């Protein structure tokens, strides 16, 4: 897909898919660096840098946070021209980096991602941001592909409420069968990239397969967006304290 088409789809639907954004050798390189990061870097980081389905079992690692802050390779990948220029194009202007994440739905047990809008977490005014989602595996409906509601980014912020799902503390409270009927499941191959606006409603099913379902997430804010940083940090600290009391950290 050419970038003009990607931009048109993004504006119209709130998301777009760039097939083959990265080549197999690039994904192989990222996978090797990720393995190194988990083995050599993560053990020395704060507890909030990585989340586990079972804190007593390191093989259940399901989420990494702020990777670009802790490692030169991922910092260069995150702030490189490739990602920054694409984000600026889709956002109609300069962007600033916020967070680089890794999502891992474990085989035969990786939990669902509740329906949500990323912007609910961001606390921005105006709510202008996007996420780039880079697939590391073949992802389909069986192992938890992302499902989007086209055009939902133009409907404003939906009401959210707390969920019990680690890493996704808020979900849309009035999500209905009509929403499900409007969804489009987006299946991907390694190297495919999804870009979605922070107000686009999306969710993902659990991983019911025996296959891995891994992806990197790159979050960028528009330079026009102003973050209520104190409010966002207060929410994070309260959430982390609650998770620690519940034994999730």
The model's pLDDT over 182-213, given as tens digits with 9 standing for 90+, comes to 999 999 999 999 999 999 999 999 999 999 99
Q: Is the pTM of this model over 0.85?
A: yes
Axis-axis angle for helices 24-36, 72-79 (nearest 10): 140
Query: What is the pLDDT at residue 166?
Result: 64
Query: What is the pLDDT at residue 61?
Result: 94
Q: Which CATH number fits domain 3-245: 1.10.3720.10, 3.90.650.10, 3.20.20.70, 2.60.120.620?
A: 2.60.120.620
Tens digit of pLDDT for each residue in 141-151? 999 999 999 99
Query: What is the pLDDT at residue 234?
Result: 63
pLDDT at 6 over 80: yes
pLDDT at 101 over 70: yes
Q: Taking all residues of the chain, what is their mean pLDDT, rounded to a whole number?
A: 92
Tens digit of pLDDT for each residue in 72-82? 999 999 999 99
Residue ranges of domains in the chain: 3-245
Q: How confident is the model at residue 172 (pLDDT cuts 50, 70, 90)?
A: very high
Average of per-residue pLDDT across 114-122: 93
| Contact call for residues 53 and 43 (beta carbons, < 8 A) | no
The three-state secondary structure class of 171 is: strand
Query: What is the pLDDT at residue 237?
Result: 64
Query: What is the pLDDT at residue 167?
Result: 61
> What is the distance between the alpha carbons of residues 233 and 128, in angstroms, rounded to a whole number?
19
pLDDT at 50 over 60: yes
| Contact call for residues 150 and 11 (beta carbons, < 8 A) | no
């Amino acid at each position: 897909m050419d970038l003009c088409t990607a931009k048109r789809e993004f504006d119209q639907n709130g998301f777009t898919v760039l097939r083959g954004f990265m080549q197999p050798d690039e994904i192989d390189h990222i996978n090797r660096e990720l393995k190194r990061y988990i083995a050599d870097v993560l053990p020395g980081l704060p507890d909030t840098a990585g989340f586990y389905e079972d804190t007593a079992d390191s093989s259940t690692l399901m989420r990494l946070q702020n990777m670009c802050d802790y490692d030169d390779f991922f910092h260069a990948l995150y702030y490189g021209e490739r990602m920054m220029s694409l984000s600026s194009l889709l956002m109609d202007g300069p962007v600033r980096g916020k967070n680089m994440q890794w999502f891992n739905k474990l085989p035969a047990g990786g939990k669902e991602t509740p329906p949500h809008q990323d912007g609910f977490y961001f606390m921005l005014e105006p709510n202008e941001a996007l996420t780039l989602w880079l697939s590391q595996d073949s992802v389909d409906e069986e192992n938890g592909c992302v499902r989007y509601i086209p055009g939902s980014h133009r409907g404003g912020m939906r009401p959210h409420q707390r969920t019990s799902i680690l890493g996704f503390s808020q979900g849309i409270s009035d999500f209905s069968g009509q929403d499900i009927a409007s969804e489009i499941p987006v299946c991907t191959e390694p190297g495919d990239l999804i870009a979605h606006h922070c107000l686009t409603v999306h969710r993902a099913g659990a991983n019911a397969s025996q296959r891995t379902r891994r992806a990197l997430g790159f979050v960028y804010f528009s330079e026009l967006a102003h973050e209520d940083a104190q409010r966002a940090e207060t929410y994070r600290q309260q959430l982390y304290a609650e998770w620690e009391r519940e034994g999730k950290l």
